[in-house]
Amino acid sequence: TARYNAKTAEPKWQETWDRQGCFRTREESEAPGKDKYYVLEMFPYPSGRIHMGHVRNYTMGDVIARFKRARGFNVLHPMGWDAFGMPAENAAMENKVHPADWTYKNIAAMRGQLQAMGLAIDWEREFATCDPSYYRHEQAMFLDMVEAGLITRKKSYVNWDPVDMTVLANEQVIDGKGWRSGAPVERRELTQWFFKITDKADDLLKGLEGLERWPDKVRIMQTNWIGRSEGARVFFPVEGLSKDYSLEVFTTRPDTLFGASFCALSPGHPLTRELAEKDAKLAAFVRECEQLGTSEEAIETAEKKGYDTGLRARHPFIEGHSVPVFIANFVLMDYGTGAIFGCPAHDQRDMDFARKYALPVLPVVAPKKLQGAELETFLSELGEANEAFDGDGVAVNSDFLNGLEVTEAKRAAIEKLEALKLGEGTVNYRLRDWGISRQRYWGCPIPIIHCPSCGSVPVPRADLPVELPRDVSFEKPGNPLDHHATWKHVACPKCGGKAERETDTFDTFVDSSWYFARFCSPKAETPTDIAAANYWLPVDQYIGGVEHAVLHLLYARFFTRAMKETGHVGLDEPFTGLFTQGMVTHETYKGPDGRWVAPDELFWKDGKPFLDEAARTPVKVGAIEKMSKSKRNTIDPTAIIDQYGADTARWFMLSDSPPERDVQWTEEGVEGAWRFTQRFWRIVTGDPASLAEPGAPMPALDEVAEALHRTAHQILAALTAHIEALQFNKAVARIYELANAISAFKPQDEAAGKWVKREAVDMLVQMAAPMMPHLAEESWQALGHETILAETPWPIADESLLVEDSVTLPVQVNGKRRDEVTVPRDADKAAVEQAALGLEKVRNALDGKTPKKVIVVPGRIVNVVV
């Protein structure tokens, strides 16, 4: 037979699916009696070209979409573009191309690439977040949410790049310097818009419990990110100021108050600011601290440094006792109250600090079991130690708390603080409000007008969208919207006076926080069509990279709640199932000059890579790493599709590793996948005379035919379960298994043989269809079917054929499980006994002794008694 030609078959089937509208979404009313299924892969940023990570991600989603469609679900499987963001502005600055032109050009290129993959996507629902027809609704919802009290405007600290004149995310600060400019980053206070996500901290935490189809690691990461801590606020009246002032600290360990030996303020604390105004040395210290930027990690790892203010803080429990007040670089301004009391004996940071500044170390908690001399030794050793004791125990040296366990002591301390009006129990979160203002051009404009007399005024709904001006310049550093000659100058909607537009734009995470809801009704005149949203949401299966475990997925969960409160959706949790796929890796190569060499620049000889055809300049094979431009170990999906076809790329992506793990891209692997497509084609079309006509009635089956019949159905059932469980590599293995069984099939009775082979081949093609859809369609047609496979229901396994003809029984020796034995279902007791006693582990357990009795409970268990 002729070889399978993916080059001609793939575009042909893509056109056919398109022409027939196979993947057009059916509204609820068009799909009576069907359950809906919404499968979504995280939408791409239009960087210019798709990469292998996209291929893996979208192939998985596509398998699910095609599978669910064949299983009778009404499927929504859309695609769009997360199209705002910095790279477009960088391109504008570097290549003098307009961000919009750059973005839409990239979208067009990437759309073509994705279409060449043969994805079962409803392209009629496509949108880009940079399109005013999308972001106008985002602006409208922002105004709704301002009205609903979900948003606030407040001052906060940001990393400021003084050269690029822009705010930097923590990740953009590298060793205290801006990632682009290399200039030392400053900490600046800016007034910005915030989503009040902290108000929903507890609800977001609680919601995680119900997300059973989310990976545990993602739920744990979100839990840690929200970082709920129960503790207390404690007031320490400060002595030495000209005014009455009580320092408020947050602690999770009020039980250790008797061990307090200092208080410390953050460099950004209001009292620090006040003191620094009159203290040049302190001001210099604060500036030094600010150079650390705002990243928690940088602050955690920096050497602990402090500045003694000379002030004293009065202890809330000990009459007449006070502790020194420091400014310390490790105290974060935006955690708790921005101030702490230090208990060196029981907190490592405080211990480090105390040893550096010669402050007392007063142990106040000891392990419960210690008593008498042992306890004395423990306490005196801890007093001299450099390591804090943060374990559990009971309070000591703590007056009314003595003898209480940590939890009890915390409660008692809080009770006392409340009675004294010097503090109260409280819950603190690590989670910060979500700052959404960005001083950038290529983002959704914040629909606010600032008026000198009326304040911040919402843009009237009728004036939405606030569109980005096209004529902007990137010549000057800073925000082009700010430099624009006319754009920001408008009349105040309230008083008509001179006013200015807000020139900040939204964080692009806002755009990606609701796109999944927009896909339910992408052309609606309102942000969502509530009926459509109620029908399609939640997303049944969401697939994407684990790098979005926290920010995107937490913001989207918050935004969904905010949309519910403003009447745009009817649910809290947007994603019922979440799957985080592994990365695509590749070997790295280094030339003699130490530079990275791309795979397609290599010449291979005897399994070794060289820089030249003559194999004179060897190349070193480096580690296997995530494909990245910087290491030059990327493979261009389009090149692979051109060479082998999309099905080969898809098949390889699914076959090699479990989907949650990394998969290593290798040339041999891809060639193996390609060879399988050819073998598949030969199995299906190589000997048409060996197959019965489609739909032929089933004849009586002889033993060998019955065996293949049974195998096919068992494999179908197993593969179906694998795809349901997103175990694509296992599904692939089942396809190989069935292909092998068909290849090995030697019919005896001709009619029976033809019939079961036809059944097995048909099933093989149907089962492979979600994974290699083009090859499957071509095969289906070659097999004489008149339907389009994409519209053919999934085959159903015959339950009666699934019963195993063997059973596996646990084998116990004296009641302890040692091994298991697999025997024919109808084996008699003597045969089972013999098989069980033959097991090595059982023989070891018997240790040469003869069993007194062997009890065989048929179908259940074997128990050997010695």
Binding residues for ATP: 629
| 748 neighbors 620 (Cβ within 8 angstroms) | no
Which among Zn ion, ligand ANZ, none contacts residue 335 (Cβ within 5 to 8 A by kind)?
A: ligand ANZ
Partner whose binding site includes residue 253, from ligand ANZ, Zn ion, none (CB under 5 to 8 Å by kind):
ligand ANZ
Query: Which is closer to ligand ANZ, CB of 253 or CB of 561?
Result: 253
CB of 414 to ligand ANZ, least distance (A): 13
759 binds, among ligand ANZ, Zn ion, none (CB under 5 to 8 A by kind): none
492 binds, among ligand ANZ, Zn ion, none (CB under 5 to 8 A by kind): Zn ion
Selected binder of Zn ion within 492, 712, 772, 790 (CB under 5 A): 492
Stretch 299-358 residues interacting with Zn ion (CB under 5 A): none
Q: In terms of C-beta distances under 8 Å and separation of at least 24 residues, what long-range contacts does 796-805 make, across chains too?
A: 797/713, 797/714, 797/716, 797/717, 797/720, 798/713, 801/709, 801/710, 801/713, 801/714, 802/713, 802/714, 802/717
Of 256 and 863, the one with the shorter C-beta distance to ligand ANZ is: 256
Q: Compare residues 228 and 626 and give the one whose CB is closer to ligand ANZ.
A: 228
Smallest gap from Cβ 491 to Zn ion, in A, equals: 8
Residue 794's identity, in one-letter code, is W
The answer for residues whose C-beta is within 8 angstroms of residue 744's C-beta and 6 or more apart is none
- Residue in 719, 778, 705, 708 with CA at minimum distance from that of residue 748: 705
The one of ligand ANZ, Zn ion, none whose footprint includes residue 417, by CB under 5 to 8 A per kind, is none
Which of Zn ion, ligand ANZ, none does residue 251 bind (CB under 5 to 8 Å by kind)? ligand ANZ
CB of 573 to ligand ANZ, least distance (A): 26
Q: Which residues in the 427-466 window bind Zn ion by CB under 5 A?
A: 451, 453-454
Kindly tell me which of 253 and 713 has the beta carbon lying closer to ligand ANZ. Answer: 253
Cross-strand bridge partners of residue 809: 821
Which two tokens mark 278?
């009159």
Bridge partners (DSSP) listed for residue 457 = 449
Residue 490 binding Zn ion, by CB under 5 A? no
User: Which residues have CB under 8 Å from 138's CB, separation 6+?
Assistant: 129, 444, 506, 510, 511, 514, 527
Q: Residues annotated as binding site?
A: 629
Contact of 472 with 484, CB cutoff 8 Å:
yes
Q: Of 93 and 299, which has the nearer Cβ to ligand ANZ?
A: 299
Would the CA dihedral through 518, 522, 526, 528 be positive or negative?
A: negative
Identify which of residues 255 and 572 has a Cβ nearer to ligand ANZ in the complex. Answer: 255
Q: Among Zn ion, ligand ANZ, none, what binds residue 214 when CB lies within 5 to 8 Å by partner kind?
A: none
**Shortest CA distance to 53 belongs to which of 859, 647, 503, 635?**
635
494 interface partner picked from ligand ANZ, Zn ion, none, CB below 5 to 8 A per type: Zn ion
Residue 720's H or E segment, with its range, is helix 703-724
In 3-state terms, what secondary structure has residue 93?
A: helix
What is the spatial distance between Cα 708 and Cα 731, in angstroms, rounded to a whole number? Answer: 18
The secondary structure element, H or E, covering residue 225 is: helix 216-226
Q: Is the CB of 407 or the CB of 453 nearer to Zn ion?
A: 453
| DSSP-derived secondary structure for 227-273 | -EEEEEEEEEEEESSSS--EEEEEES-GGGGGG--EEEE-TTSHHHH
| Among ligand ANZ, Zn ion, none, residue 332 binds (CB under 5-8 Å by kind) | ligand ANZ
Span near Zn ion by CB under 5 A; candidates 346-354, 484-492, 503-511, 787-795: 484-492
Give the pair of three-digit tokens for residue 618: 């060897």
Considering CB distances under 5 to 8 angstroms, the limit depending on partner class, which of Zn ion, ligand ANZ, none binds residue 777? none
User: Considering only CA atoms, which of 130, 178, 89 is closest in space to residue 439?
Assistant: 89
Q: Which of 430, 432, 494, 843 binds Zn ion (CB under 5 A)?
A: 494
Between 367 and 497, whose beta carbon lies closer to Zn ion?
497
In the bound state with ligand ANZ, the residue whose beta carbon lies nearer, of 126 and 248, is: 248
For ligand ANZ, the closer CB: 225 or 736: 225
CB of 351 vs ligand ANZ, minimal distance in Å: 9
Least distance (Å) between residue 157 CB and ligand ANZ: 13
- Taking the complex as a whole, the smallest distance from the CB of residue 343 to ligand ANZ amounts, in Å, to 4
Q: How far apart are CA 395 and CA 363, in angstroms?
A: 9
Residue 453 burial (10 A CB sphere; 0-12, 13-18, 19+) = exposed
Find the shortest distance in angstroms from Cβ 109 to ligand ANZ.
46
Q: Where do contacts with ligand ANZ occur on this chain (CB under 6 A)? A: 229, 250-253, 256, 266, 330-332, 335-336, 338, 340-341, 343, 346-347, 428
Given a contact cutoff of 8 angstroms between Cβ atoms, the answer to whether 36 and 536 are in contact is: yes
Estimate the crossing angle of helix 6-19 against helix 99-116, to 10 degrees. 110
Q: What number of other Cβ atoms are within 10 A of residue 857's Cβ?
A: 11
Q: How near is the Cβ of 304 to ligand ANZ at its closest, in Å?
A: 11
Beta strand 861-865 with 806-813 is parallel
Nearer to ligand ANZ, 150 or 204 (CB): 204
Q: Which of 686, 511, 669 is nearest to 128 (CA)?
A: 511
Residues that bind Zn ion (rule: CB under 5 A) add up to a total of 7
Tokens of 752: 């029976």
Residue 266 Cβ vs ligand ANZ, minimum distance, rounded to whole Å: 6
CB of 227 to ligand ANZ, least distance (A): 6
At its nearest, how many Å lie between ligand ANZ and the CB of residue 346? 3
Reduced to 3 states, what is the DSSP secondary structure of residue 559?
helix
CA distances from 537 to 30, 409, 542, 555 (A): 17, 47, 12, 17
Query: Exposure of 558 by Cβ count < 10 A (0-12 exposed, 13-18 middle, 19+ buried)?
Result: buried
Place of tokens 């050793």: 381
In the complex, the smallest distance separating the C-beta of residue 560 from Zn ion, rounded to whole angstroms, is 34
**Judged by CB under 5 A, which of 108, 174, 427, 495 binds Zn ion?**
495
> Phi and psi for 638 in degrees, rounded to 5?
-65, -40
272 binds, among ligand ANZ, Zn ion, none (CB under 5 to 8 A by kind): none
Task: Kindly tell me which of 253 and 818 has the beta carbon lying closer to ligand ANZ.
Answer: 253
Q: What is the closest distance, in whole angstroms, from the C-beta atom of residue 344 to ligand ANZ in the complex?
A: 8
> To the nearest whole angstrom, how small is the minimum distance from the Cβ of residue 257 to ligand ANZ?
8
Indicate which of ligand ANZ, Zn ion, none lies near residue 451 (CB less than 5 to 8 Å, by partner kind).
Zn ion
Q: Is 563 left (phi over 0), alpha (psi -120 to 50) or beta?
A: alpha
Q: Which does 495 bind (CB under 5 to 8 A by kind): ligand ANZ, Zn ion, none?
A: Zn ion
Nearer to ligand ANZ, 256 or 505 (CB): 256
Q: How many whole angstroms separate alpha carbon 486 and alpha carbon 469?
A: 10
User: How many other CB atoms are found less than 10 A from the CB of residue 178?
Assistant: 22
Identify which of residues 433 and 504 has a Cβ nearer to ligand ANZ in the complex.
433
Which residue ranges make up the site for Zn ion (CB under 5 A)?
Answer: 451, 453-454, 492, 494-495, 497
